[in-house]
A = this chain, B = another copy of it.
């Protein structure tokens, strides 16, 4: 490509509504322009990167045996009524009427449409497994669209849907997609993690999110730097931090702790480690026509409750925090000095795995300004029900036993789900099984946010000059900047030669023949983030040299003029090899 035949719309200033760096840089680099809130034009520079992402995604989906089709953006309400999501889905689902007053939606996702295809096309177990995918424009009516392409309303996704005859098949299909996603994000040149995730609203069981690691990410991820383990902090398993419970050494002692209602204050006051205190959290569950059940969840003083884990404990589904009145009624004291000893009415006690192995610990005495030290299971309290009810922390052992957890922030760019039969049962998508009987198909769904990837890649790769693209998705891989091409025949000749050589080597190169001053040229391409630059000037050429600078390099280097193209082509090839 020659820049004179291309459109470069760089800007000095970012728009006022751009809060994060990727949004600012995408607008300044001329990649996107706002049309309405969360709705963008993808300008030529931006579209080139989008197409490169799409191409890698397609190659890997095809390699994994998925088959491409294309479903419509506009979908009839009937399908969403069948699945139940016409009612369940919130106002993010854009609903409208056509000229005949029929109800439609603008598709934020395509489970309904693809399930309709499957129930019409797949009649026998012999036709499965099958995995349909599409790269398609979606719409989600976000209440507060922001962050550019990171939380837009109209966006491009790759979504795919697998259909299997049984759960074993679904697991295989899921694993194929998981592996394909690992290849995709590796080829995209991104630092990422596959993260075990909770399923959320889409239903079914078993899912992973793929996160690009970036400080500006929205999600906290627990990961093990020395193994493959990663999970959303909410989903990561917390192992007991104490392998075996020690025998009691202290006597049970009621101690005055005036004003110390928090674990930190108690530890300070008594000169103890925070790790020997206990946080008691009181929950309630309703019993129809009777008084509620009151629960005490016990966590080590430095740990936090994980409500999702708590809600999965038998009897705790749909729990709420206890009211102050309930606390006074059950414990005889307002919150602040609560504990499992001497409650006024019976309480169900759940101990976190770590708490269950503690001895000589400190709890509230159910009396204002008093705590009890030297508390021990078995001796002072009955053996507790034990469960994993806390969030993991940095330094915790990794659940896979292969190291210690760290916490980082991530941007979700992909998601794989085992849906099971949620949609196939709701919509009657059955097939004839080997036993001759109809059975619901086992479904998986797998998404990649194509446009979101651009934002995530930038959040991970930028500096004060602009974007730093990985070679695989840079709008151009190399820019050739001739100095005074109009004045110097020598410069023109070499610039054209180097450009032609790069093209022949299969490199995506742009020749900046706009006739701009060097400062403008360099600033534009640094902002746009082209990873390799060749500067061709008369002075260098007279010494047989061309100047090379990688986008991350502090200094330029000189290459022999005749080898420059070949040398850059090799750098790119090396970067793209996985």
Contact = CB atoms under 8 A, between A and B. Distances in A.
Interface of A: 5-7, 9, 33, 35-36, 39-44, 46-47, 50, 65, 67-76, 79, 91-92, 94, 96-99, 102, 104, 106, 113, 116-117, 120-121, 130, 132, 137, 139, 141, 143, 153-154
Most chain B C-beta atoms within 10 Å of own C-beta, residue among A91, A97, A102, A117 = A117
A99 B35 contact: no
A94 B91 contact: no
B70 A130 contact: no
A36 B74 contact: yes
A341 B44 CA distance: 67
Most chain B C-beta atoms within 10 Å of own C-beta, residue among A36, A44, A67, A94 = A36
A334 to B, nearest CB: 43
A73 B6 contact: no
Nearest to A154: B72
A73 B35 contact: no
A113 B75 contact: no
Given A42-B69, A73-B73, 15 more contacts: A5-B65, A35-B71, A36-B76, A39-B72, A39-B76, A41-B70, A41-B72, A44-B132, A50-B70, A73-B137, A73-B154, A74-B106, A74-B154, A98-B153, A99-B143
Contacts of A50: 70
A508 B9 CA distance: 39
A98 B104 contact: no
A75 to B, nearest CB: 7
Identify whether the interface residues of A are mostly helix, strand, loop, or mixed. Answer: mixed
Contacts of A99: 91-92, 94, 141, 143
Contacts of A70: 41-42, 47, 50
A478 B23 CA distance: 47
Nearest to A36: B76
Contact of A96 (B42, B73, B96, B120): B96
Contact of A35 (B41, B47, B68, B76): B76
B94 A69 contact: no
Given A96-B94, A121-B9, A116 B35 contact: yes
A493 B205 CA distance: 44
A70 B155 CA distance: 11
A18 B139 CA distance: 30
A496 B18 CA distance: 56
B39 A7 contact: no
Contacts of A35: 71-72, 75-76, 79, 113, 116
A98 B42 CA distance: 22
A33 B67 contact: no
Nearest to A156: B70
B120 A33 contact: yes
Most chain B C-beta atoms within 10 Å of own C-beta, residue among A5, A70, A97, A141 = A70
Contacts of A117: 33, 41, 43
A139 B74 contact: yes
Contacts of A104: 36
A2 to B, nearest CB: 10
Contacts of A92: 99
A71 B41 contact: yes
A73 B72 CA distance: 12
Most chain B C-beta atoms within 10 Å of own C-beta, residue among A35, A50, A139 = A35
Contacts of A43: 69, 117
Nearest to A50: B70
A146 to B, nearest CB: 14
24 contacts: A5-B67, A7-B121, A7-B132, A9-B121, A33-B117, A35-B71, A35-B113, A35-B116, A36-B102, A36-B104, A39-B72, A39-B75, A41-B72, A44-B69, A44-B132, A72-B137, A72-B154, A74-B106, A74-B153, A92-B99, A94-B96, A96-B96, A98-B141, A106-B106
A92 B68 CA distance: 30
A69 B98 contact: no
B130 A39 contact: no
A154 B42 CA distance: 21
Contacts of A106: 74, 106
Contacts of A141: 98-99
A139 B132 CA distance: 24
B40 A68 contact: no
Nearest to A141: B99
A117 to B, nearest CB: 6
Contacts of A46: 69
A79 B96 CA distance: 20
Contact of A69 (B39, B41, B91, B132): B41
A247 to B, nearest CB: 62
Contacts of A67: 5-7, 44
